[in-house]
Chain A
């Protein structure tokens, strides 16, 4: 290696170029930034913009063709009662999934952050990463097996002689249904399962940053475990929780596959977008519908940023 340096010491093209770049850091920065920015700017922002543009077009009622003229009528249609219903349903599901994911994730993250030794920590990390990165569809598919009438969950309840409990749960209005695989409970379970790892990781990162001395101090000052949790751990873990919730919320908001496979026939935002652009051929309506999650996420991200969630990512 040292000989390689020595040979090029006295000059040469490479040296001149690198010296020039060193003296002109702005040019180097431009060189580094240009390819990714051009790609994301053209492919991604360009597409987003074209989507936004089409939401201001409308569909001719008689011919069914897209009229390329500026109009707000598509947005007017978006706020019909049926569509508001879809939006509220999706947002409530996203909120419920986020809360449930936070509750289930907390003990895992807390244990891994505070009590696990080096080896156990590695096991925990892999145990969270493997489901996170393994196939989304396969994991949804697993729940189709679990929730099926002849599947393991019903078998399990029958073995415990608790089928009555399941039936009572399914008899609950709104969230119930004829069976688990066509009820909101089923959809909810699958959502929580699929997005849970996204909550665990940032939460664990936030909890690992809580210095043990702070907890000792809290204890020394006379707080009991509950108070330490409520006034010390929870506020410090909040940025991580918010960071995780960005994923659980946003991913639930836009998903159209899970509610289609497990759940009642009532639509979610993602399914509405899919149907409008697909069979109905109403691209403007689909575009307007997909602006809804963008706006919701925009608000969400602004609030999250205030809460310091981006530092916890």
Chain B
């Protein structure tokens, strides 16, 4: 790879300031949440905090309603991720391996649940449940979540399949492996980390989803729904702050893992096609 010529090597000061300013805009609010989790002020959002304390972490730990919400969110996210992994990988493989009539339509259909505003997915599902007289339950939430999680897995799987060289599969066949063996020993190991990343992101997406969930949950409280009710009618602000920090931590981990397992895959072995 050619390094850029001397005239291009340094960014102008203005560009640097604008880029760093933009990143600060993205991160300062998150840092503030962290700060507020330690504030001693519990009636307002006073800045700067009058004092710092760890007591709210203990208070939040004792709250059963928070644990219940976390439990429900985790179960929903795990189930939806499992469904999305199967459906997304199948769809990715189908779109990758063949050109067929309606291929564009299929890929549009997969993207549609996130391309259209979440409220439409939500209210469509709700009205369908109404028409079909399906009562709200754990599974109605999963049904909605899995639908928009498919696209994340699909994108990751498809991107990796495109980078994996077709000649690897041909070589495997030439060496006498049948289709299933090729799948097991060649294709799956090649796309495994992409699936892991897709699954992680699907989990994060589902764990955090609120718009669709408000329509499909009935009386159940997932963590985002708990959070939303606290946002609309704050009861114990510092506890909400602590939960917010927890949510940030829970979603950061899968993202960082997803990043590290897919990093550098532009140069998969045998990808020089």
Contact = CB atoms under 8 A, between A and B. Distances in A.
B74 interface: no
B128 A39 contact: no
Interface residues of A, number: 99
A232 interface: no
Contact of A35 (B7, B29, B87, B119): B87
Nearest to A39: B87
Given A144-B45, A215-B8, A287-B123, A33 B106 contact: yes
B88 to A, nearest CB: 7
A250 B125 CA distance: 19
Contacts of B248: 134-135, 138
Interface string B111-140: 011011111110111111011000000000
B interface, how many residues as a size bin? 35 or more
A14 B8 contact: no
Contacts of B32: 142, 145-146, 152
A127 B150 CA distance: 25
B126 A196 contact: no
A48 B124 contact: yes
How would you classify the secondary structure of chain A's contact residues: helix, strand, loop or mixed?
A: helix
Contact of B147 (A44, A212, A301): A44
Given A5-B181, A254-B116, A290-B120, A137 B87 contact: no
A39 B127 contact: no
A250 B113 CA distance: 12
A5 to B, nearest CB: 5
Interface string B1-15: 010110111110001
Given A22-B179, A127-B23, A136 B208 contact: yes
Nearest to B87: A36
A251 B228 CA distance: 18
Q: Which 6 interchain pairs have the tightest Cβ spacing? A: A254-B117, A18-B179, A107-B18, A142-B29, A47-B124, A111-B19
24 contacts: A4-B185, A8-B178, A39-B146, A39-B150, A44-B112, A44-B147, A47-B127, A50-B128, A51-B123, A114-B8, A115-B10, A115-B11, A124-B23, A139-B29, A141-B244, A142-B29, A144-B45, A145-B29, A151-B46, A155-B47, A215-B8, A254-B211, A257-B210, A283-B127
Interface of B: 2, 4-5, 7-11, 15-16, 18-19, 22-23, 25-27, 29-30, 32-33, 36, 44-48, 83, 86-88, 90-91, 93-94, 97-98, 100, 106, 109-110, 112-113, 115-121, 123-128, 130-131, 143, 146-147, 150, 154, 175-181, 185, 201, 204-205, 208, 210-211, 224, 227-228, 231-232, 240, 244, 247-248, 251-252, 254-256, 259, 263
Given A36-B94, A115-B9, A255-B118, 19 more contacts: A14-B180, A17-B179, A36-B154, A40-B113, A40-B147, A44-B147, A47-B121, A115-B10, A126-B255, A131-B27, A135-B208, A136-B208, A136-B210, A141-B231, A151-B47, A155-B48, A253-B117, A283-B130, A297-B117
